[in-house]
Structure 1
Amino acid sequence: MTTSPGTLTPALRSRLADVMHAAHTEADARRAEVRQLRNVLTIALLAATLMVGALVLLGALRPASVPLCAETLATAATAEVPATPTSPAIAAVPATPAGTVCPAGGANHRYDIVLVSLFGLLGATIAVVAKVSTTSAKDLSYSPTVPQLALKLPAGVLTAIAATVLVRSGLFSVVNLKPSQAAILFTALLFGYAQQVFTRFVDQKANTVVEAAKPPTG
């Protein structure tokens, strides 16, 4: 028996069914990978948030256990230098004793870690806003975009606390800020934003998985 052009034979139907089944199986596998990544990011977000809560609670209850204050060195007094025909007068500078500068001002306080955390969170929020402005909406179920961006917030707090401790300890001699309340809070803000250095690897992985799961166009 001959078939007219355009008629599907049983063999051709079987081959097309196999191709469609393989395509759907591959798409399901890609979507499953997106869901798995979203679940992993959600767990990481919860773990990071719990870690932030534990650190803030520890620092609030026992401020000395999370050293965020900076030591200031004593300076000697200088005498007044009178003006000369070639140079202006230089005023006298009184001596300053050694002391401690903390994020909340004054001595070690339970609010020190709260302030550092807030400024780290502010830096991370700036990074999230910048990321959102360049992120397109994903037409995928279980998109990892929300936990991917939310993870940056506790990560910013953690990097702010860790960096403030390290910088104040003098381990980073390249960061030579004069010890002051503003310098400590600026350090927290800067490193809260700098969590992007670490979370960009998560961004790259998420983008790769999402792009692979998107249906082909054209």
Structure 2
Amino acid sequence: MAWREGTLTRAAELEALCAWVQRSNPRSDDEALVLAIRRHLTAAREAARVARLNPHRRFRLFRNGPLIERATSNLDAAEAHLLNLLPPAYVLGQMPCLLRHVQCHLPPTDPRRQEFEAITGRLGIRDPDHPQLRDSVAVTPEAKLRIVDDERRKIVTIVRGASSAALREHVRLRSFRNVVVATTVFMTALAIAVAVTGFLHQTLFPLCFAPEETGIAAVVCPTNQSGPFIPLGGQPQPGIPLRDIDDVTAETARPQDLIVVELVGLTAAAIASAAAIRRMKGSSERYGLPVALAALKLPTGAVTAFLGLLLMRGQFIPGLSALDTSAQILAWALVFGYAQQLFTRLVDQQGQTVLDSVRGADRPQRGPDPA
């Protein structure tokens, strides 16, 4: 997967940076940090390579999410240790990137972010989104290096806090994704159970209608239709049999009725899913939430098609209780299948909110104030 390649690349980059620091500025008191960096990079590589668990577990579901979090947290820790080792000139060059990282993941009211912005303001770093940082006094390069060296502990602590906040955002995203996946599995199992039950017991909840005109009725099911008959208690007419409507329904209903209805509802839901994907913004996150949201619509459409026709058969909707042909039944199944969008749209909105909370750098940025 892409995150594994990115983890290995980032680990190699940090390892090379650590080796460069050791050679260019060797200090005996840095050995503890160097050893910690190596341990963190080893742990990140093990997560990326899906190393065997110790102790081994035979069944391990949804392991990909914890592996991503392990790799990310170890890379963040290694980077924080490196910031303690790197020379002030290098840290100074990284300050604009670190400022953006802090602003992406810490709210404007967070004291850590405010302190970091104050430090960057003293360094003369301009930020078009924050006018208070634009009127910075010119500072000499030597003074900038002294500021970075004096404020190094604050810089490292605040950047580490921003990285922890970013990781918590991804944890919330993964948790929401897992809820969506679990709901999709449940809805899929429910749709399959309904289809199997209808196939084995087609008279248990038949989606058949009995329109009646001038005393003559006919049973209409999704895939079959009976001949005309007169219901019991009606006025006999020559050439038309007098029959019990329940018996005619049992003869007309077919095992594949519910399967066809659910397939039509699923098709309509697939169209709604395609339309929803068109409106959803792109995402660089690694958990596939947009795909999970799109998949949720499919079994939901199958179930809503069945439930909608069941409500119509129970005369829940006045005036729409006597469909005349099988085509009308399937057309309403199409409508009810697409209508799942009324429910899943709320889930889509919540999913987009969760994605927006993670993609801090992708949010539209406010332009500079007009002069």
Length-normalised TM-score, structure 1: 0.84
Q: Secondary structure at the match of 1:216?
A: helix
Tell me the equivalent position of 2:259.
114
Is 1:25 aligned with 2:176?
A: no
Cα distance per residue 1:92-150 (max 9 Å; x no partner): xxxxx212100001211111101111110111011011112222321111131111100
Q: Is contact 2:308–2:333 with CA below 8 Å preserved after alignment?
A: yes
User: Aligned partner of 2:294: which letter?
Assistant: L
Is 1:157 aligned with 2:302?
A: yes
> Is 6-15 or 116-125 further displaced after alignment?
6-15
Residue 75 of structure 1 deviates from its aligned partner by 1.9
Residue 188 of structure 1 deviates from its aligned partner by 0.4
Aligned match for 1:6, one of 144, 156, 161: 144
Q: Any gaps of 5 or more consecutive residues in structure 2?
A: 1-140, 226-251, 366-371
- Which entry has the higher C-alpha Rg, 1 or 2? 2
Calculate the aligned-residue CA RMSD, in Å.
1.8
Tell me the equivalent position of 2:177.
38
Residue 158 of structure 1 deviates from its aligned partner by 0.3
Give the length in aligned residue pairs: 196
Aligned match for 2:194, one of 30, 55, 58: 55
Length-normalised TM-score, structure 2: 0.50
Cα distance per residue 1:171-193 (max 9 Å; x no partner): 11153664321111111000100
Separation in 1 of the partners of 2:211 and 2:178?
47
Considering Cα pairs closer than 8 Å and 6+ residues apart, tell me whether 1 or 2 has the greater RCO: 1
Separation in 2 of the partners of 1:174 and 1:41?
36
Query: Alpha carbons of 1:170 and 1:9: their partners in 2 closer, same or farther (altered >3 Å)?
Result: closer
Separation in 1 of the partners of 2:295 and 2:148?
53
Cα distance per residue 1:22-61 (max 9 Å; x no partner): 1111111101111111111111111111111100000000
Stretches (4+) displaced over 3 A: 8-11, 174-178
Q: Is contact 1:35–1:143 with CA below 8 Å preserved after alignment?
A: no
Residue 215 of structure 1 deviates from its aligned partner by 3.0
Separation in 1 of the partners of 2:198 and 2:211?
22
Higher helix share: 2
Separation in 2 of the partners of 1:171 and 1:9?
71
Is 1:207 aligned with 2:352?
A: yes
State the identity as a percent: 30
Aligned match for 1:104, one of 177, 200, 223: 223
